[in-house]
Amino acid sequence: MTSLGGQFILEACVFATLLLGFFGVILKQNLMLKILSMDVMSTGVIGLYVLVAARGGIFTPILADDQPRAYADPVPQAVILTAIVIGLSIQALMLVGVMKLSRDHPTLETREIEKSNMP
């Protein structure tokens, strides 16, 4: 398999992960499944960002020798680490919100919760 074909397969898998998470958030009615879908979508976005950032090169930018190489940019790596930490904290906050909501309602289905909160 050529490098271009492998890159295309990786991009297709990342976009499929992104779309799977997006449609899960839109179509699922259970709050836990919505949170899980948001995590899948976040993983797809991070994977897409890693794919775009990896196109420049694969070597670390540590200058040990004088050979010209295609170095990977370290800034996207730092941004990805920050995105992972923020995504984890947002997911924990959403899970706490669902736990608080589950104390008042016997179900986590969004339609049932909306019906019980209508005036």
Q: Tell me how many domains the chain contains.
A: 1
Query: How far is the C-alpha of 69 from the C-alpha of 63, rounded, in Å?
Result: 10
Report the CATH number that the domain containing residue 20 is assigned in CATH: 1.10.287.3510
pTM, whole model, 2 decimals?
0.78
Question: Smallest Cα–Cα separation from 21: which of 46, 49, 43, 52?
Answer: 43
Residue 112 lies in a domain: yes
Is-contact 11 51, C-beta < 8 A?
Answer: yes
Residue 65 lies in a domain: no
* Residues 31-56: tens digit of each pLDDT: 999 999 999 999 999 988 888 777 66
Residue 18 pLDDT exceeds 90: yes
Domain containing residue 104: 3-59+70-116
Q: What is the mean pLDDT of the chain?
A: 85
Burial of 118 (0-12, 13-18, 19+ CB in 10 A): exposed
How many Cβ atoms from other residues are within 10 Å of residue 95's Cβ?
13
Residue 27 lies in a domain: yes
